[in-house]
Amino acid sequence: MESIGALSKKLSDYLDPKKVDQVNKAYHFACEAHSGQLRSSGDPYVTHPIAVATILSSFRMDEDSIAAAMLHDVIEDTGIPKSVIEKKFNKDVADLVDGVSKLDKLTISNRATGEAENLQKMVLAMSKDIRVIVVKLADRLHNMRTLLYLNREKQVKIARETLEIYAPIAHRIGMNNIYRELEDLAFKVLYPTRSERLTAAVKKNRGGQKKTLDKIQKELNKKLLDQGIPALVEGREKHVYSIYRKMKERKRSFEEIMDVYAIKIIVDTPENCYRTLGHIHNLYKPVEGRFKDYIAIPKSNGYQSLHTGVVGLRGFPVEVQVKTQEMNDMAENGIASHWLYKSGNQSDTSPQVRARRWVAGLLEMRENFESTEEFIESVKTDIFPDEIYVFTPRGEIIEMSGGSTAVDFAYAVHTDIGHHCRACRINRRLAPLSVPLESGQTIEIITEKVPQTSPAWLNFAVTPRARNSIRHYLSNLKTSEARKFGKTLLDQSLGNMDIKLRDIDKLELRRVLNNIGVRSLNRLLEEIGLGLRVGNIVAQQFIGFLKENKEITSKNIVPLEITGSEGLIVNYAPCCKPIPGDSVIGHFTAERGLVVHQERCKNILSVREDPQQCFPVNWGESSGKVFTAEIKVIARDEPGLLANLAYAITSQETNISSIQTTEINTGMHEFVLHLEVSDRLHLSRILKKIRSLKSLVSVTRIHDHEMRQAKALH
């Protein structure tokens, strides 16, 4: 069991005393936070953070990573907020602890099978700083080493998760020492009998072959020494799980697996790697197809080496790897072995390739790197800046674009779910549809029987699938609504002349449509509803063809009744913001249909009397729709002014959709508020409540957008 003293001694080999002090401070903070907590083994809980920190110290990780290792369970297990850690230490430590805590919350084992690749990507996507992954892997390694204290069910669950998710991630970032140990530990738990038998077979085989292997090593040593190549030659046994995997994948017996043993030769330069290879092939016959040049073309996780298979003494097959010391460090410890080298390029579009090349770039870019601080900034980068990975309630993973919202998610699951989406729960809590999602969240969509698609969704939906589906649906809906609304307008206009559309003879109707220049009655009604044609003008054209002697004037027009429930075809002018109870008039615009303005609105004064552009409208019975009214409040400054104003408004059963405040002179404030109201009566009750405030100077409704703009400019 490691002690803080032993750890401090290790750290002092490569960290300044001040940095070691930070780790000690983190240790004492963790002791206090975990006071009274025990591990399943019965040891004090703090022994686990020390063990994780000790693993990291073997990679010579920086002080923030090791402090985070000390504190990695504090947020999750003791409820201490991230803000406290940031205050006590620094933002980097707090972000690292928070990152590891978020990974701990992923209940990966319960998720759908066959999702391992996406789960690996999700873990990487959640780790904005690669050090989060390194700390998490050290945490997982210590947990796997002490798994025997848990019950069988938990052991299997954690081991499977390790084998499917964390070991491949360790391999991906080149931390092969951790990767091999995690695989072997998980294999031992999941398949104890197979692991035991294979370990025994390797041991038995080792006994019989050791002398041959030693002799091959001596021969290679002598040959390289004679050629003046400085080299370290050592034998290596493949780890048990990799042997098992090859037996399974290739459907071969243990005896048929040729590369159970490998000889590793470490030389001083890449040039000597190739010279060494030539001398090996002079000594022993190479096996066809076994040569791999990973120096010229490194593996995707940054691994570099020359591999060859040869037949040694007495037909003994052996794999030989030739690499430099630096390549060997990278092969064993990956990113951690080059903690002082700069990260590489992330330009590739594939997230999988980008993650791997990013780590491989550590080798290529190291000479451009100067300070530890710069390097740490370079690793604090989202490996997947353009992708997020979220769960459905059933545990399936959906890959989405960065910035996606619940609406995008709903359409990603199914178009019908998108159309019927009413609300969402993120991690079981109700949340707005417009909130950008984060990797690792579980998203649940609440639907209605009736479609809920809204044009407002286009303001925050980001995925092409969602945006195209919304546009397509609204286009069809708009056509349908336009036809219905156009019929209402034409019926009303014709009704003024005692003519009903349904009573017109079909042949006469066809003649009228031909003369107007429209292919069908439905198309005519759509054009009227969309504002491309004016209902009362079309009615006049009908009258002209049906009854030559009769004309229609604007005096005959009965106002159209609106309720606010007309959908996409009737719009309410943003310049004057009409609400039920205001005197209003309808203005026809191409594509926007009928736009309702207050009669006093300056924007339509010049066209109010033009029957081709304007149409009288009245408010019908309330539909329950919410309208926006804008008010201006001037009040004297006093403690709690904004809170009192907000309470006065919300107590009248309304919402404040936006608020702007300006200090107009010392001790005087102006507030411009957008309120959600049902009608003028509702607004008057709100204004009356505001007038009861002691600090109030004035409260007025803003009717005119231009006035407001002029005042702002003034």
Contact 443, 409 (CB under 8 A): yes
Question: Helix (H, G, I), strand (E, B), or coil: what is residue 41?
Answer: coil
CA 228 from chain centre, in angstroms, equals: 55
Q: Kindly report the backbone phi and psi dihedral angles of residue 620, in degrees, each rounded to the nearest multiple of 5, phi listed first.
A: -90, -155
Taking the C-alpha atoms of residue 161 and residue 164, their distance in angstroms, rounded to an integer, is 5
Taking the C-alpha atoms of residue 207 and residue 575, their distance in angstroms, rounded to an integer, is 90
List of residues 6+ apart from 634 with CB closer than 8 A: 664, 668, 669, 670, 671, 696, 697, 698, 699
Q: Choosing from 43, 76, 326, 329, which is the catalytic residue?
A: 76
Taking the C-alpha atoms of residue 597 and residue 604, their distance in angstroms, rounded to an integer, is 8
How buried is 578 (Cβ within 10 angstroms: 0-12 exposed, 13-18 middle, 19+ buried)? buried
22-40: b or e for each residue (b if 16 or more CB lie within 10 Å)? bbbebbebbbebbeeeeee
Taking the C-alpha atoms of residue 40 and residue 37, their distance in angstroms, rounded to an integer, is 10
DSSP classification of residue 163: I
Give one DSSP letter per residue of 289-347, joined into a string: T--EETTTS--TTS---EEEEEE-GGG-EEEEEEEEHHHHHHHHHGGGGGTTS------
Is 621 annotated in the active site? no
Is 76 annotated in the active site? yes
Q: Choosing from 63, 64, 73, 77, which is the catalytic residue?
A: 77
CA-based nearest residue to 64, from 5, 18, 127 = 18
Taking the C-alpha atoms of residue 130 and residue 375, their distance in angstroms, rounded to an integer, is 11
Question: Helix (H, G, I), strand (E, B), or coil: what is residue 632?
Answer: strand
Contact 668, 695 (CB under 8 A): no
Question: Which residue has 């080798």 as its token pair?
Answer: 363
Question: Which residue has 């504190």 as its token pair?
Answer: 71
Residue 227 CB neighbours (<10 A): 14
Contact 667, 650 (CB under 8 A): no
Taking the C-alpha atoms of residue 314 and residue 208, their distance in angstroms, rounded to an integer, is 12
CA-based nearest residue to 285, from 236, 323, 237, 318 = 318
Instruction: Give catalytic residues, as residue numbers.
Output: 76-77
